[in-house]
Copies of this chain bind each other. A is one copy, B any other.
């Protein structure tokens, strides 16, 4: 394993610890705040917290694996020979990426049939995308990396299509007060996901050794923070606003009914 500079080591080390703290904090925030949304949106908030909890666990493991793989002593970083288990990322994504799409579907408050069908389709495509990406990630040569990366792009494009075409109509049907927030959540999901293929391709632009390692670790970490913690808080805000809007509408209806001549 390539040895990192003291700066690179500290940067990665502290980014892992930061991300564990941020993910665990977001989990707690979401689960504690769950009582403040209408029953209809509780599951969306529960799952947003779950995604951050799973990520917190994996960042804890990644941090420990990184600590086991390197020794930083007397200002010099040396490899211990113990492998740094990067597979934790893929194991995490296999669980969290389908759930991220499901939380987005759930907060829209569609009919049961639509919710089930969209969750299943998007969840399955997301899992397939992760599974196809992994063989490329661990490949030593760029050709194998390119082949699996390309295969993985097929379900990715399907997800993007579903998010914009499939969910597009459903978003237009939402109350004007939440429409723009939902569009932001969708855009942020898409934009943060766009980060992953860029990091995946780091070795193609000639980056290698410690620099590539640092770019990959920091890149994936930032993307995870946006896709899970920031999107999770956004899902919560949508749930809060939808709960308020729907309770207002229900109140107005009740008042209108009571005002009718008997």
Contact = CB atoms under 8 A, between A and B. Distances in A.
Number of copies: 2
Secondary structure type dominating chain A contacts: helix
A88 B17 contact: yes
A14 interface: yes
A81 to B, nearest CB: 5
Nearest to A42: B36
Interface stretch (A53-61, A149-157, A192-200, A252-260): A53-61
A49 B39 CA distance: 20
Contacts of A32: 31, 34, 46, 49
A164 to B, nearest CB: 26
24 contacts: A10-B85, A10-B87, A14-B87, A18-B91, A18-B95, A21-B54, A21-B57, A25-B53, A25-B54, A28-B50, A28-B53, A29-B47, A32-B34, A32-B46, A32-B49, A33-B43, A35-B42, A36-B42, A36-B43, A72-B82, A73-B81, A73-B82, A74-B81, A75-B83
